[in-house]
Amino acid sequence: MYFIGYDIGSSSIKAALLDADTGRCLATATSPSREMPILVPHPDWAEQDPESWWQEVVNATALLRRQHPFDPAMVKGIGIAYQMHGLVCVDKDMQVLRPAIIWCDSRAVDIGHKAFTTLGEPYCLSHLLNSPGNFTASKLRWIYENEPHVYERIHKVMLPGDFIALKLTGETTTTVSGLSEGTFWDFPGNTVNTALLDHYQISPQLLATIVPAFGTQGRLTAAAAATLQLLPGTPVTYRAGDQPNNAFSLNVLEPGEAATTAGTSGVVYAVHDQHTFDRESRVNTFVHVNNGPQHTRDGVLMCLNGTGIANSWLRNMIGDISYADMNEAATQAPAGADGLLVFPFGNGAERILGNKSIGATVSGLDFNRHQRAHLLRAVQEGIVFGLNYGLDIMKDMGLDIHRVRAGHANMFLSPLFREVFANTANVAIELYNTDGAQGAARGAAVGAGYLSVKEAFRGMECLAVIEPDNRQRERYATAYSHWLGRLRSLLANGE
């Protein structure tokens, strides 16, 4: 039995074909070959065309079949992972009304802050476990205020993964986990939060129908099946935002377990069995995929927007160089990059900085001393230091994180990045041969009832464990302290 997983990212769409009987991933595909564009019509805005996601799903499926030809009748379920917090609006004919406002768009920061103040911090934190911030509900209110001609035509609003499910099944659906990531969910009431919707003058009728994260969420329409060359009626059986899904793909499901990613953005995501929150809403709590009526499972998430995108920007500036060569060259500079500091906050408002958009900064540059290796290293260190800044907030909330799991991908392909992360954060890193698309395929097998959660992780291997090294920890602690002092100065001066 085969299961297909799709990971709807902002850079590309990934697809994976899983053989559920062996737990092996038979093939993976990524489309397009170059990163998808992010539209920036105004500073701090970030948009994408949802239909382009669907076209790349079609392309990735064709690539998957080319790598490993398969009988469509063998595919028993489809899983979807997706970039979180985005907003897709469709009309009654299920046509997209405007470009999606994606996760790193900062236009609704002030709207969310005003709601946080008006509804009251105690209410928002106890019911939403977050400030409304720059999340999906606030983005929808922005459309209400600034594009009434669009708002009045909206039939349903969806997250990016919900839109792909619509293209597959013809149905507008979402999940509780998805509603929580949009700050539509009331945690103690275990229902849609109407107080925030009323404050924003948004009708709850605009929300899609709730389906379980695991289980049949709809079936392939004849049109979608013909486009993908799959069988009509094939069920969609799993859906989750990219970070809850990444945690699932790494078998991070129980309290005390944590996952991390370092793609376009960087995340540490830890599972907790109690509703908890950061009083400044710098890190955020959402419903985890295995939450249930008998056991609370929330995911506490800290996000650094400027992670892989910072490294990608640097690569584009340097020119013809591979990431592997960048990683190697960075090791030629000493820990701390000889005083060169990089603050990778150039990808929209950063939640860990209180939704401030301070831009990226290079500090301490000396033309007579610093060379390319110093800058390459300073970027990787700056990314880790930003992640560690958020990790410290999580630890202050009472989360005990000494070991994290990550896929062997993106920034974690860099031995230097892994070294800096383990020793700065003082955590062990477990690297696995998995990614979001594979996780979505395994989730689909669970949702179809073909595999138990335990059985779903057959075939996943731990490739390496990176332990902190006491001899290096002091050097990185000194470098991080220097970086942190400069960050505080930047924030204090409003830079």
Q: Mind listing the pLDDT tens digit of every residue in the chain (495 residues)? A: 999 999 999 999 999 999 999 999 999 999 999 889 999 999 989 999 999 999 999 999 999 999 999 999 999 999 999 999 999 999 999 999 999 999 999 999 999 999 999 999 999 999 999 999 999 999 999 999 999 999 999 999 999 999 999 999 999 999 999 999 999 999 999 999 999 999 999 999 999 999 999 999 999 999 999 999 999 999 999 999 999 999 999 999 999 899 999 988 999 999 999 999 999 999 999 999 999 988 999 999 999 999 999 999 999 999 889 999 999 999 999 999 999 999 999 998 899 998 888 999 999 999 999 999 999 999 999 999 999 999 999 999 999 899 999 999 899 999 999 999 999 999 999 999 999 999 999 999 999 999 999 999 998 999 999 999 999 999 999 999 999 999 999 998 875
Question: Any residues with CB less than 8 A from the CB of 66 and at least 6 apart, and which?
Answer: 29
- The burial class, CB within 10 Å (0-12 / 13-18 / 19+), for 413 is middle
φ/ψ (deg, to 5) at 475:
-60, -45
CA distance 87 to 66: 33
170 touches 227 (CB < 8 A): no
The residue type at 320: D
Q: What is the pTM of this model?
A: 0.92
Length of the chain: 495
| Region label for 221, one of left (φ > 0), alpha (ψ between -120 and 50) or beta (otherwise) | beta
| Region label for 232, one of left (φ > 0), alpha (ψ between -120 and 50) or beta (otherwise) | beta
51 touches 96 (CB < 8 A): yes
Residue 453 C-alpha from the chain's centroid: 22
The secondary element (H helix, E strand) that includes residue 293 is none
